[in-house]
Structure formats: C-alpha cells, structure tokens
A and B are shown apart, each in its own frame.
Chain A
Amino acid sequence: MPKTMTTIEIDYSRYGYAKRINVPLFKRERSIEPGDRVKVIGDDGPERIAIVAALVDAGRKAILEFDELPAA
C-alpha cells in the first residue's frame, strides 16, 4: 500500500521564498524518510510539494527542498 503524503504546515515568515528549509517535526510526522515527497502548507501561502532531503537532529527535524519557488 503506498504511503499517504504527509502534510507539514510551516510558518512562511521564518522561511520566505527559501528553496531549502529546516523544519521541526511533530512526533506524528516523523514517519517521513529522505526522498519522500510532502505537502507543505502555511499561513496564507501557496500549497507546495517538497522532497525530504535529509533528517537531522535525530530525526526531530527535516530539511525540505522545494522543486519550485512560490509565485511572488
């Protein structure tokens, strides 16, 4: 059975248009693995898809990379 895509809500004021972001993960989100695609939503910003580039801090944070920048 394919994995359900995890949705991660970020605070865009902390990242702006960054293509690569470092996000603390809730425990329930820690099933993601490097290479997974995740849906990223945030405070009135556009919904985007990112790839999990790496897990850091013993899996408590994820580095996410977006394919595309949001529209300005």
Chain B
Amino acid sequence: MPGAVETVVNAAVRNYGEYRSVTTDGLGLFTVSVFAIDDSRSENDILAALPQRSFARITVGAVTRAGYGLLPTSTDDPDLPPAVAAIQQVHFDIVLPSLDDTRLVALDPLDDEDLEYAARDHLVIAVERLLALFGPREQK
C-alpha cells in the first residue's frame, strides 16, 4: 500500500467510531479530513494552523461528482490551539463508501482485528480512487 493510502486508511479506521454520535443508524463513518477555502479562511490560514509539511488540493465538485459524501464537521475540543479552532468552520469530512458488514453494527472496529482487516481491504480501493482525484502533493 503506498504511504499516503495507508495513512488515510489508518485514520479512517481509527476515527470510525467517533461518528457514531452523528449517525442515526448507530454505525460510524469512514471519512477523510479536509479543509475548504472560502471568503472567511484562506489557504494560508489553513496551512499555517497545521503541522503537515505538504498538502494537495481538490475541488468540491470533483468530490461530489465522484460520488463521495461531504459533511461539514468540526471538533469542539477545548484543548485545540486557537489557530486550529479558528479553521473548524471550514472543516469537512469526505465520506468513503460504507462497508456492508453486519459486524459493524455491534462491534467497534478498533476492538476487532479481523474487522479492521476487512475494513482495510474495502477502504484501500475507495481511498486509492479518491486520492487519484487530488492534484499533485505540494510542499508548504
């Protein structure tokens, strides 16, 4: 698995259960965290708030035309640094296709190594397809 794909899949699996509180079916969501540029927050604002050394761009249209969901989400953790708290209003999650596995209803994937591996295989395909839509990775 290429490094970027593995990183995105790992994050999607780790954060799956966090979304149980925002869904109505009790399932979590597999997502990819992104920030949007709008009139209130520039690309520089976003890049300055985050420690990643590189980034890539994608348009909202490219995400939705490819069939991925896009949810406005934010973190209200009081320990967030001010610069990160300030860009929460432009934080979104790209929603990867759900995994049709009844074990997801009752189990937390983080608890079940087998399910983690099942989800990983499913997610690699979706993430590879998604990352191919992004522009080239650029250094900050």
Contact = CB atoms under 8 A, between A and B. Distances in A.
Given A13-B34, A16-B49, A60-B108, 18 more contacts: A11-B11, A12-B50, A12-B52, A13-B33, A13-B50, A17-B50, A17-B51, A18-B81, A18-B84, A19-B81, A21-B79, A22-B77, A25-B110, A26-B116, A27-B112, A28-B113, A42-B7, A42-B52
Interface of B: 4, 7-8, 10-11, 14-15, 17-18, 33-35, 48-54, 75, 77, 79-81, 83-84, 91, 108, 110-113, 116
Nearest to B14: A24
A26 B14 CA distance: 7
A26 B110 contact: yes
A14 interface: yes
A22 B76 CA distance: 12
Nearest to B35: A13
Interface in A21-38: 21-28
Contacts of A16: 49-51, 80-81, 83-84
10 contacts: A9-B10, A9-B14, A11-B11, A11-B15, A11-B33, A12-B52, A24-B18, A44-B53, A46-B51, A46-B53
A17 B35 contact: no
B15 to A, nearest CB: 7
